[in-house]
A and B are shown apart, each in its own frame.
Chain A
Amino acid sequence: MQKFTTVTGIAVPLRRSNVDTDQIIPAVHLKRVTRTGFEDALFAAWRLDPEFVINKKEYQGGRVLIAGADFGIGSSREHAVWALRDYGFDVVLSPRFGDIFRGNSGKQGLLAGQISEADAETLWNLVECDPGVELTVDLVSKTVRVGDLTVNFEIDDYTRWRLLEGLDDIGLTLRDEARISEFETKRESWLPRTLPALSPESSRINLM
């Protein structure tokens, strides 16, 4: 993962709350087996409307999405993060995120910054009055800057550190491999195992 410090780019105001991951990427677009190629699936249903904010020419090339509360609720699909990344977003700001979405973001270099409802309103108004204006999102100071305005955002310290350092989670965990192995020696013998498969009957059903 690339290191993340600051991003300066066009802000896109998405004045909607409860933007669930089915809206970010509808299920019919989840059938790819790669991590890339999801850009056209982002907000696929809403983008059919020419007036939808992403379609407006002044917001083309947007990198910072400013959304209403409860962004990324619903399905665990990491495809939602991949679609935002593939489209070109580096940052999503919202007063509250779905937990799984926020976790997924941190794994893919997408900064999910929590801002207050009041600051969301301020930023929406500012961007709508000056469409195409660029914001600077600074992960070091946890601020969003535009002109004279500075707004703070929240992100948990661990995710922030990993983004700043560009660290891979699995590599970090495998440094504790000895502890994992030790833990495994103490697990009760009766805990469930999937292998060998225990199934009392013949394994095929009548397909007709």
Chain B
Amino acid sequence: MTNVIPTSTISSDAGLRTLAEKVWDKHLVTKGEDGTPDLIYIDLHLLHEVTSPQAFDGLRLANRPLRRPDLTIATEDHNTPTLAIDKPIADPTSRTQIETLRRNCAEYGVRLHSLGDIEQGIVHVVGPQLGLTQPGITVVCGDSHTSTHGAFGAMALGIGTSEVEHVMATQTLPLNPFKTMAITVNGVLRTGVTAKDIILAVIARIGTGGGAGYVLEYRGEAIRALSMDGRMTICNMSIEAGARAGMVAPDQVTYDYLKGRAHAPRGADWDAAVAYWQTLATDEGASFDAEVIIDANELEPFVTWGTNPGQGVSLSGSVPNPAEIVDANERSAAERALEYMDLTAGTLMKQIRVDTVFLGSCTNSRIEDLRAAAEIIKGKSKAEGLRMMVVPGSARVRIEAEAEGLDQIFLDFGAEWRFAGCSMCLGMNPDQLEPGERCASTSNRNFEGRQGKGGRTHLVSPLVAAATAIRGTLSSPWDLVQDGD
């Protein structure tokens, strides 16, 4: 692993613990012996339609009950259309998957927020906005972007369907302890640089496998200065660095976000909860297994050029030359990526023209993301021939945005204003790129074909997405200033 500073190989002194270790210890049901994993209790289990049907089937086959329906909640997000949601879902296989979730939730007594419900939306937007995601808890979901919830100081793990079934049956998971890595972001972000740029820069630095086996803890002045929405964006993409989870210690920003939410503790319970949450931060002097240090002052808007999230560069940079990459595997991956992306080494990133801008996904579809983009495009006109799709993360985010008039700003600009869901992040619904279409996307994965077969994805922040929609080429808000706007 390059660019990661190994710290002392001696683990934390007795009594000094990191945030991740504290949450782990608190949830230990049994301590593993002789190479067996620890058994960890799970406080909150989130379900959606794609990774749960086979797990429910498994329960049914083994005649096992779902142990804790009161710690389980489901929503429909991956397959749901973002247009004409009053009509039946057109694709029969998508419809079957949604109907299967509805049947399973009814049979097992699981709370479900269906399409059309005010709490429906992307599972990682719904949990926090209901106040279910809280500091110090363990959260799992059959979805890799569960890492999002770590923004609250929760231990949040993406799991596979066998593990989903395991949690349904036992409310626990057998897990091996993880190593810890501090991602320390010092300094202050410049105007126009966002949480998304921080995490894209982190992934470019440590690579898609750099976090493998680690829980990342984001620390430092620049992280503390972020809102909860920004912290969620960062933790969301921890998985793109290969990490099992990403976390931020809770603080006043966290408490202010939670207070008054539907499922946040109230009254004396609130005081007890806050008193506990205040004990969670990593102890002074506790050691991490590795550390990465980033200087926020130096960060610029960031963008990917390739087909994995580690293949990124500052927007002011250019498409790299594979011949200059020393590592043979990385070199051949870069060659393949440039061919797929139809890019030539040396091309300035800002010269790359895009066809579509997608503002959405569990990474960047919360109210602040929509506000930030709306502020850039307000009163401007969209680049000729470009399409822009805006997909709020949840029905509630959509309603909140409409109350602020953001929908009208997007519509006046010429963007499409859609209903909530995962949408074009992975194109399980009709929202897909055409072969060869190039997209500036606020989502999390630029894998080949991710947004539609043959589609080409550049990962960007909401600000870069908005500026790109105005200029038609990959752009940052800084370029708009230079244009004299």
Tell me the A residues contacting B by CB distance below 8 Å.
Answer: 15-18, 20, 22-23, 26-28, 30-35, 45, 68-70, 73-79, 81, 96-100, 103-104, 107-108, 117, 156-158, 161, 169-170, 172-174, 176-177, 179-180, 183-184, 187-195, 197-205, 207-208
Contact = CB atoms under 8 A, between A and B. Distances in A.
Contacts of B219: none
Secondary structure at chain A's binding surface: helix, strand, loop or mixed? Answer: loop
A85 to B, nearest CB: 12
A204 B118 contact: yes
Interface stretch (B35-43, B284-292, B380-388, B408-416): B35-43
Interface residues of B, number: 98
A69 to B, nearest CB: 6
B326 to A, nearest CB: 14
B144 A45 contact: no
A20 B450 CA distance: 10
A73 B448 CA distance: 13
A79 B449 CA distance: 17
A16 B339 CA distance: 14
Contacts of B116: 204-205, 207
The list of the 3 closest CB pairs from A to B, nearest first, reads A107-B162, A104-B160, A78-B160
Contact of A70 (B64, B70, B242, B426): B242
Contacts of A195: 69-70, 109, 111
B188 interface: no
B311 to A, nearest CB: 9
A79 B133 CA distance: 27
Contact of B111 (A28, A32, A97, A194): A194
A81 B54 CA distance: 13
B187 interface: no
Interface string B23-51: 00000011010011101010110000011
Contacts of B133: 192
B43 A192 contact: yes
13 contacts: A22-B449, A26-B449, A30-B50, A30-B428, A45-B448, A76-B159, A77-B160, A97-B212, A158-B37, A179-B39, A180-B39, A192-B43, A194-B72
B5 interface: no
Given A107-B162, A191-B137, A73 B209 contact: yes
Q: Looking at A99, A172, A201, which has the most chain B CB atoms within 10 Å of its CB?
A: A99
B213 interface: yes
